[in-house]
Amino acid sequence: MFTLTGRHKEGRYMSDNNSFSIQTLLLYRLYHISTIHERIVYTRNMPRLAGVTLIEWRVMGNIASGVNTFTDLASELILDRGQLSKLVKGLQKKQLIEKVKSPQDARKSVLKLSAEGEERKTLIVDMAKQYEAVILNGLSEEQRQGFEQAMQIIEGNMREYWHDKDD
């Protein structure tokens, strides 16, 4: 019989007989971190202060970072075309993004932030930087760099695994 006895000093849960505990699984812990983040950002700040949802911000943030074609956005955000289409239309209706001719190929369109979208981006980035400072509090610069490197490796491994399973 499994019983939860409390947190291990590293923050992991341990059972009374050191058997399996879902709380020790990395993906479960990442899920918890993500859920806490989304509840804080989505329900408390972003819609109220910036007028966009978290997923709308992710679209806007990627456009601002140069991921500006529909295909590239769908791939980066891991969204199907229908989901992304609704998001893009909603952001266009809010006048936060606009479709323009590609500077490289006038036959193609790209997305860009509108002037209002740029203002909202600035507000959201400021909030995000404050939030990052809070969640990274207590980590040394070396630990932050190690964490960033580990996250890049983990994301790369997950994307590679995900693409291997699509074949």
With CA atoms as reference, report the closest residue to 58 among 28, 93, 83.
83
Say what the pLDDT of residue 117 is.
97
Question: Is the pLDDT score of 8 beyond 80?
Answer: no
Rg over CA atoms, the chain: 20
pTM: 0.75
What domains does the chain contain, in order, with CATH numbers?
A: 28-166 (1.10.10.10)
Question: Is the pLDDT score of 98 beyond 90?
Answer: yes
Question: Is the pLDDT score of 5 beyond 70?
Answer: no
With CA atoms as reference, report the closest residue to 42 among 33, 60, 55.
55
Buried b (16+ CB within 10 A) or exposed e, 117-127: beebbeebeeb
- pLDDT tens, position by position, 26-39: 989 999 988 888 88
Question: Is the pLDDT score of 54 beyond 70?
Answer: yes
- pLDDT tens, position by position, 127-161: 889 888 988 999 999 999 999 999 999 989 988 88
